[in-house]
Amino acid sequence: MTVGIQLFEIVDGKTRQKSFSPMVWRSKLALNHKNVTYETVPVTFLDIPVLIPKVCPNVTAPTVPTLKIADGEGLQDSLAIAEYIERNYPKGPSIFGQTASEKNLQLFFDSYVSTRLHPAIQRLVYIEMYEHQDAENAAYFKSSREKGGKTLEQLGGDQAQNLKELKDNLGLIHSALLRSGGWITGEQPGWADFTLISAFIWFNSFAPQKFEEGILNAIDDQVLRNYWRKAQELIQ
């Protein structure tokens, strides 16, 4: 029997149940938004180069997310996957909005999250990501990250400074949420929201206490906390 759409998602090596990649979650949220039926295929760091090419031979440099869209054919990159979903599942709410300018603004927000939030979050969860792997995946994670000569602890840097950087960069996002009164994109969530929520999921998956301090309590009101609570509607 032919299997339908499959999304390869990376999971932790110990339980193989914690889906944490922000890029994978962007794809999952886009698929959920469009009510697309799909199957997730959990893989660890070491599974990626072995399992994905077996199912999607056209993927010669396997990464996650990879969406299997036909027998033997996989599509990589979260943005490319979202654009594919938007084209092929036109019914229901749009992922990017109705105009090119709306899409461009959402892609600008995407870049802001990727360049302003992701680096600090990554430094804040380096050790926790390592600790959530089994022995083989932990060894891979450590050796691949330490190729530049710095240890994981050194790569993590000053955690207090990382939290300050994160809080500072949340200011504009907080302002956008105040103006919108709901989602970043207004009454309906869109790609901008998916990028932000995915970063939050990644952070919270490994370091919930740091997430509480660095995100939910970053600003002295309930705006970010209410947004995270609202985001639970989209997380499946």
Range of the domain at 21: 6-88
Last residue in a domain, options 30, 65, 88: 88
* Tens digit of each residue's pLDDT (9 = 90 or more) over 138-151: 999 999 999 999 99
Residue pLDDT, tens place only, 187-224: 999 999 999 999 999 999 999 999 999 999 999 999 99
pLDDT of residue 170: 98
**DSSP assignment letter at 38:** -
User: What CATH number is attached to the domain comprising 218?
Assistant: 1.20.1050.10
Sheet of 66-70: strands edge to edge? Answer: 39-43, 6-10, 66-70, 73-76
- For the stretch 68-110, pLDDT in tens is 999 999 999 999 999 999 999 999 899 999 999 999 999 999 9
* 81 and 104 in a common domain: no
- Domain final residue, candidates 67, 88, 109: 88
127, burial (CB in 10 Å: exposed 0-12, middle 13-18, buried 19+): middle
State the total domains in the chain.
2
**What pLDDT does residue 1 have?**
34
CATH no. for residue 66? Answer: 3.40.30.10
Asked if 76 and 127 sit in the same domain, the reply is no
Tell whether 105 and 84 lie within a shared domain. Answer: no
b vs e for 90-104, b when ≥16 Cβ sit within 10 Å of the residue's Cβ?
A: eeeebbbbeeeebbe
Structure tokens at 233: 């509607």
Q: CB neighbours of 195 closer than 8 A, spacing ≥ 6?
A: 22, 26, 109, 110, 113, 114
User: Same domain, yes or no, for 18 and 62?
Assistant: yes
pTM: 0.96
